[in-house]
Amino acid sequence: MANGTTRTTYLGVPTARVDGRLKVTGAAKYAAEMRPADLAYGFVVSATVAKGRIKRIDTRDALAVDGVLDVLTHEHRPKLATSDEKYKDEVAPPGSPFRPLYDDKVRFSGQPVALVVAEEFEIARYAASLVRIDYEPQEHVTDFLAQVARGARPNEEYAFEPRGDAAAAFAQAPVKIECEYRMPVEHHNPMETYAATAVWEGDDQITVFDKTQGAPNSRNYLAKVLGMPEKKVRVLSPFVGGAFGSGLRPQYQLPLAAMAARMLKRAVRVTLTRQQMFTLGYRPANVQTLALGAERDGRLVSFRHEAIGMTSQFEDFQRNLVGWSSQLYGCANSARAQKLVKLDHNTSCDMRAPGGAEGLFAIECTMDELAHTAGIDPLELRLINYSEVDQDEDKPYSSKELRACYREAAERFGWSRRSRAPRSMRDGRELVGWGMATGIWEAMQLPAAARVVLTGNGGVEVASATADIGPGTYTMMTQIAAEMLGVELYNVTAKLGDSDLPQAPVEGGSFTTSSVGSAIAAACREIQTALLGFAQKLPGSPLAGATLDDVVFAEGQIRRKDDAGRAVSLADAMRAGEAGRIVREAKAEPTKDEKHAHFTHSAVFAEVKVDEEIGLIRVTRVVSAVAAGRILNPVTARSQIVGAVVGGIGMALHEETVTDQAFGRFMNHNLAEYHVPVNADVHAIDVIFVPEKDDTINPLGVKGVGEIGIVGTAAAIANAVFHATGKRVRDLPITLDKVMG
């Protein structure tokens, strides 16, 4: 589309997903939909004890079933790597990673202990029920709160330096709040269950279609585990049906499918059931204690925050829960600590905005409690304590439009009409509550590479090994290439999700656009340089003497900015350079800005209505104002925030994975009993993107929006529930029994 008459622009313009048609027509194929020739099917046999040893595996009945090809166990499998280092992927936490089918030890309930492979999926599933396993059970430890009571150990990875004397300042503060907040285990539950289709190519070479957030990460992991050269292993993941962090690390279906394919010398698919999805990583439960002291005017004088999380017995997983207050609120006296308890579960893992979603829930609810105790409006309290610097790093922000987020969201929401007292607003039989909270997330960039190809007919191919788990990465890649090379969107083809493509990090943490997008921009810049050089070879070139800063690429031409009539078409430039195609690959490194702190911010306002008789809670309105640098595509960016807000509703009101402590296993391991928001739970969600210019963060000026939408949402809802009912619920999810109890 034209911007005036001088150029084509796609960045910042609402753009439909370029892969949308493929998805709605079913043409987009996922890991479990690939149909290689001679395909066999594997079904995982899961451990029924939480801890112990396998005394005996009897596979005879399973092998006797017509159509069964083999049963893989720790006693019958290909040779595997033996060192922990070989099992570590690029985002692995400290410790000893889980090794599927490695030995006779059972480390968690649901652990894969055998793989039945058959000609048909139904045969494999039936035969798996015939595998007889005798266990030597051992006493397991899965009760998180009981272990917290017994004592947790400090996590040295998250050791925060204290500021001032928080304890002394708290003792002297005229306004004080001490509280404990709890969150349960939560599971990701994307629509697409995990699957891998492994194709044995011969010559000791394998190709795997896997559900993953990082094809290169899965390729490197698989090559190390199987002892194969990386060049002999290829992982593809062109489409992913949701992941939310569960696919950052390779899941066990990947090595199991590859092992079976290698043994049988044929293609094998392994698909996990919904129940088996609950044997993977999860958002870990946590207990957070906070103590805030303030002057009577609301100015913070002491901020203490401790978080205890859970991890497996074999790895230490935890993210930053307690550090965020130092980026949000000015306070001279601060003490923060994180601790861990080890349980006989699989290792927990990243789930959307890991650490931030949990930490800000407790921080922002406690700030709301402080506001209520001090008799100060919750928004005003945050403005009183607004911090212009990252106090941990003693650095100003490269950009921070949080004040504008507060202002615009409050105005859109109608915050000035809020009655301060709890239980003072009604709508018929329902109590009405208005709550708000702040969101913050790191604005990161990681090293990434991309390749761009321009052909003589104006076609462009842009490629990177990155993933697209739903945020619109295909579209982002297409937009940047079309914008920078001055071609139409439909002339650009994006390729991703292939470990053979230029390398990129796993997709997560809201750093994909800043990382991969910067690499695409760098490659396009090199093509621009080549094209301008070609154009200047033309006799009497209208671009003679021009630099890249003097020209613009638009509508298939290179034009002078000061005179659009002086232009050379891309086709003529290519002919002048006798180039049928131009290929450039570039790598982008993180911008070295040591003078500033880099964060994304948001302000979330929520309205709830609570049925006074039965305690039913409805989230009727949410306004989320986000400052995230340059927004390349308002359509996909808004979709990210809306989806994240829905996730925040789930955190606040619905999601909880319950453990049967007697058996050490998760009980509600299905979508009937693990509650997530459905259409009836989601009402008006209003998203505001606050303009924010950032010239130092990366070449594109972007910060990312994948995580920020969920950070603060659960707290805003919880604060609204308190305002509606006068009942402060400090353990999630907020259910009607807790409101009425």
Res. 2: pLDDT tops 70: no
Phi/psi of residue 298, nearest 5 degrees: 95, -5
Report field, pTM of the whole predicted structure over 0.95: yes
Q: What is the mean pLDDT of residues 495-524?
A: 98
> Does the CA dihedral 254-259-264-270 come out positive or negative?
negative
pLDDT in tens, 378-421: 999 999 999 999 999 999 999 999 999 999 999 999 999 999 99
Would you say 521 and 484 are in contact if contact means Cβ atoms under 8 Å apart?
yes
Residues 65 and 91 in one domain: yes
> Does the CA dihedral 617-618-620-621 come out positive or negative?
positive
- Tokens standing for residue 421: 């007292």
Domain containing residue 683: CATH number = 3.30.365.10
Q: What is the mean pLDDT of residues 442-451?
A: 97
Q: What is the DSSP string of 181-201?
A: EEE-BB----SSPPEEEEEEE
At 6, is the pLDDT very low, low, confident or very high (cuts 50, 70, 90)? very low
pLDDT of 3 reads 34
Phi/psi of residue 182, nearest 5 degrees: -130, 140
Q: What is the mean pLDDT of residues 286-303?
A: 98
CA 674 to CA 735: how far, in whole Å? 14
Residues 499 and 471 in one domain: yes
Last residue of a domain, one of 543, 564, 588: 588
Phi/psi of residue 457, nearest 5 degrees: -90, 10
Would you say 436 and 606 are in contact if contact means Cβ atoms under 8 Å apart?
yes
Residues 583 and 694 in one domain: no
Last residue of a domain, one of 554, 588, 622: 588
Would you say 348 and 93 are in contact if contact means Cβ atoms under 8 Å apart?
no
Res. 435: pLDDT tops 70: yes
Domain count of the fold of the chain: 3
Q: What is the mean pLDDT of residues 423-428?
A: 97
Residues 415 and 520 in one domain: no
Q: What is the DSSP string of 553-611?
A: EETTEEEETTEEEEEEEHHHHHHHTT-SEEEEEEEEPPP---S-B-EEEEEEEEEEEEE
In a domain, residue 309? The reply is no
Mean pLDDT of the chain: 97
In which domain, by residue range, is 247 found? 31-139+203-230+241-263
Which residues on adjacent β-strands are paired with residue 159?
337
Domain containing residue 213: CATH number = 3.90.1170.50
Q: What is the mean pLDDT of residues 82-108?
A: 98
In a domain, residue 54? The reply is yes
Among the listed residues 276, 277, 248, 279, the one whose alpha carbon sits nearest the alpha carbon of residue 93: 248
Q: What is the DSSP letter of 160?
A: P
pLDDT of 8 reads 57
Angle at 75 between CA 74 and CA 80, to 5 degrees: 55
Residues 62 and 108 in one domain: yes
At 224, is the pLDDT very low, low, confident or very high (cuts 50, 70, 90)? very high
Q: What is the mean pLDDT of residues 211-220?
A: 98
Residues 579 and 506 in one domain: yes
CA 192 to CA 97: how far, in whole Å? 24
Q: What is the mean pLDDT of residues 652-676?
A: 97
In a domain, residue 67? The reply is yes
Annotation says 461 is catalytic: no
pLDDT of 4 reads 34
Residues 505 and 622 in one domain: no
In a domain, residue 331? The reply is no
Would you say 450 and 519 are in contact if contact means Cβ atoms under 8 Å apart?
yes
DSSP reduced 3-state for 68: strand
Q: Which of 369, 442, 483, 707 is catalytic?
A: 707
At 202, is the pLDDT very low, low, confident or very high (cuts 50, 70, 90)? confident
Among the listed residues 729, 703, 701, the one whose alpha carbon sits nearest the alpha carbon of residue 714: 729
Residues 537 and 644 in one domain: no
DSSP reduced 3-state for 724: helix
DSSP reduced 3-state for 89: coil
In a domain, residue 352? The reply is no
Residues 559 and 650 in one domain: no
pLDDT in tens, 450-495: 999 999 999 999 999 999 999 999 999 999 999 999 999 999 999 9
Q: What is the mean pLDDT of residues 233-241?
A: 98
In a domain, residue 383? The reply is no
pLDDT in tens, 637-646: 999 999 999 9
Q: What is the mean pLDDT of residues 104-129?
A: 98
At 9, is the pLDDT very low, low, confident or very high (cuts 50, 70, 90)? confident
In a domain, residue 218? The reply is yes
The half-sphere exposure of 396 on its side-chain side, counting CA atoms within 13 A, is 5
Res. 671: pLDDT tops 60: yes
Res. 321: pLDDT tops 90: yes
Residue that is written with structure tokens 């309105």 in the block: 621
Residues 84 and 107 in one domain: yes
pLDDT of 741 reads 84
In a domain, residue 52? The reply is yes
Q: What is the DSSP letter of 139?
A: -
Starting from the edge strand earliest in sequence, which strands make up the sheet with 448-455, in order?
492-495, 460-463, 448-455, 581-588
- Amino acid (one-letter) located at 621: R
Residue that is written with structure tokens 């290169």 in the block: 216
* Residues above pLDDT 70, as percent of the chain: 99
Residues 20 and 40 in one domain: no
Residues 499 and 644 in one domain: no
